[in-house]
């Protein structure tokens, strides 16, 4: 394949393919079910969900935060070819940017629909509290969309070639800032001992890289099946397998350091015991769901030698799916587990009242919450599919010379 960025041939997704129509209708149906679930909660009130005054961020936020974090990591695939000038990765750039936009849109759609009064979103936008990290994230999200769209424009229009590398650097820098801002929402929250930590921001950066790469690999392998193209090449496949294993290992390392650091601090030891050992649901999701299924097994599958290209692709696809599942497990423990542990209003004092002060909260997700969260994946898949049909995003081949 020609390695020059300007000579790579791209095409749109074939509209006559039955598999592509099934994917489009399937993603649309999932997104539609999520919208209906949001309307049901909007009409009846949030009392129909499992969320309470203690757990105000439930299952929808688990899916939303995963998608937002993964979106910034999906853009790293394009950054490898542009910012770090690794030429074999350049054919991935357009699809990487489109995947990042789709994942970001899916996550933000969940957040907007889970606000309770989505019709008042304009009030929030026009009355920003600039001392709040939540308000600052509005600019980070919109800036991410704008820069990635500009980045894609420089890739697709040869007249914008002079702005390609500056746009790549700007998008790469902004995704680092955005992920830091998302992690800082929790890191700045001093009332929750499970959240308040300077390690949350770099932890989210590490997680974004593994989550985003896993999502991108699943999209790429789906397109291979859908279009019948024989990509990626064996060499690129080997690189992606190694890269996924490394990024998953880095994510696991930061999670371990985060919990060890919290456990070392006396005032946070109780919440760590609660998450790691005492609460069966959180312990299983963290140790088995994220630690084994979402980290160790994907690394083994990615690094194990394969005799054929087909078996290597299957192993990479399974490993990526396990990383996604493990990521959702971690987000559930991080978000819901952090809220379930009682807030210590008066350190060193015993507090008791009729409002269950000092008692761990029991949260049971409802079906509408789960459907809304899954609907975010439908929105992401729908936008990626429509984008592939409308714009020349797919290289004729991902093979190297």
* pLDDT tens digits along 231-283: 567 788 888 899 999 999 999 999 999 999 988 888 788 888 999 988 889 99
Residue 401 counted as domain residue: no
Dihedral sign of CA atoms 300, 304, 309, 311 in order: negative
Residue 326 counted as domain residue: yes
- As for how many domains the chain has, the answer is 1
| Rounded-to-integer distance, Cα 113 and Cα 296, Å | 35
> Torsion over CA of 220, 225, 231 and 237, rounded to 10 degrees?
60
Structure tokens at 342: 């009682």
SS3 180: helix
Residue 222 counted as domain residue: yes
Residue 133 counted as domain residue: yes
What pLDDT was estimated at residue 3?
38
- Which residue range is the domain that position 132 belongs to? 5-395
233: region left, alpha or beta (phi > 0 left; psi from -120 to 50 alpha): beta
What pLDDT was estimated at residue 186?
86
pLDDT in tens, the chain (401 residues): 333 445 678 888 876 677 788 888 999 999 999 999 999 988 888 888 888 888 888 899 999 999 999 999 999 889 888 888 887 788 888 999 999 999 999 999 998 888 767 777 777 777 777 777 777 888 889 999 999 999 999 998 888 888 989 999 999 999 999 999 888 888 887 767 788 888 898 999 999 999 999 999 999 888 887 776 665 677 888 888 999 999 999 999 999 999 999 888 887 888 889 999 888 899 999 999 999 999 999 999 999 887 677 888 899 999 999 999 999 999 999 999 988 887 776 666 666 666 666 677 888 899 999 999 999 999 999 999 999 988 888 887 544 43
Query: In the 8-state DSSP scheme, what is residue 11?
Result: E
| Domain CATH number, residue 183 | 1.20.1630.10
Residue 400 counted as domain residue: no
Cα dist from 232 to 229, 238, 241, 263, 293, whole Å:
9, 9, 11, 43, 25
Structure tokens at 84: 């770090």
Give the residues across from 11 on adjacent strands: 394
Q: Say how many CA atoms lie within 13 Å of 280 toward its Cβ.
A: 0
Q: Containing H/E element for 395?
A: strand 394-395
Dihedral sign of CA atoms 139, 142, 145, 147 in order: negative
3-state DSSP helix/strand/coil % of the chain, to nearest 5 = 75, 0, 25
Residue 361 counted as domain residue: yes
Residue whose structure tokens are 């054929």: 308
Query: In the 8-state DSSP scheme, what is residue 341?
Result: S
Closest CA to 369 of 32, 31, 34, 28: 34
> Torsion over CA of 26, 32, 37 and 38, rounded to 10 degrees?
130
Q: Write down the pTM of the prediction.
A: 0.91
Residue 310 counted as domain residue: yes
Q: Residue 308 class from Cβ within 10 Å (0-12 exposed, 13-18 middle, 19+ buried)?
A: exposed
DSSP secondary structure, 35-59, as one string: HHHHHHHHHH-GGGSS--SS--S-H
Residue 250 counted as domain residue: yes
């Amino acid at each position: 394949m020609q390695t020059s960025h300007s000579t790579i041939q791209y095409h749109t997704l074939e509209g006559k393919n039955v598999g592509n129509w099934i994917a489009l209708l399937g993603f649309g149906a999932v997104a539609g079910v999520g919208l209906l679930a949001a309307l049901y909660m909007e009409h009846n009130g949030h009392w129909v969900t499992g969320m309470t005054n203690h757990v105000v961020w439930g299952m929808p936020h688990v899916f939303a935060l995963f998608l937002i974090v993964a979106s910034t990591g999906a853009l790293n695939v394009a950054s490898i070819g542009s910012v770090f000038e690794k030429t074999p990765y350049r054919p991935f750039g357009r699809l990487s940017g489109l995947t990042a936009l789709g994942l970001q849109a899916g996550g933000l759609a969940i957040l907007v629909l889970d606000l309770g009064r989505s019709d008042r979103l304009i009030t929030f936008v026009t009355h920003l509290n600039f001392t709040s990290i939540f308000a600052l994230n509005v600019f980070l999200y919109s800036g991410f969309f704008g820069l990635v769209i500009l980045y894609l424009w420089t890739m697709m229009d040869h007249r914008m070639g002079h702005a390609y590398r500056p746009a790549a650097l700007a998008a790469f820098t902004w995704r680092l800032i955005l992920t830091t801002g998302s992690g800082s929402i929790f890191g700045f929250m001093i009332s929750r001992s499970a959240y308040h930590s300077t390690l949350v921001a770099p932890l989210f950066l590490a997680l974004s890289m593994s989550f985003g790469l896993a999502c991108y690999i699943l999209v790429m392998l789906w397109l291979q099946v859908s279009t019948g193209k024989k990509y990626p090449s064996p060499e690129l496949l080997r690189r992606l397998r190694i890269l996924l294993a490394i990024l998953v290992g880095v994510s696991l390392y930061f999670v371990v350091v985060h919990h060890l650091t919290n456990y070392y601090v006396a005032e946070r030891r109780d919440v760590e015991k609660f998450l790691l050992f005492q609460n069966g649901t959180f312990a299983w999701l963290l140790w088995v769901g994220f630690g084994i299924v979402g980290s160790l097994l994907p690394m083994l599958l990615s690094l194990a030698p394969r005799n054929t290209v087909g078996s290597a692709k299957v192993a990479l696809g399974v490993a990526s799916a396990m990383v996604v599942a493990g990521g959702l497990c971690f987000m559930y423990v991080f978000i819901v587990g952090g809220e379930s542990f009682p807030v210590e209003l008066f350190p060193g004092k015993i507090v008791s009242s009729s409002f269950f002060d000092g008692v761990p909260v029991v949260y049971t997700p409802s079906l509408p919450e789960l459907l809304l969260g899954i609907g975010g994946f439908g929105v992401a898949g729908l936008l990626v599919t429509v984008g592939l049909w409308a714009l020349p995003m797919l290289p004729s081949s991902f093979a190297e010379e």
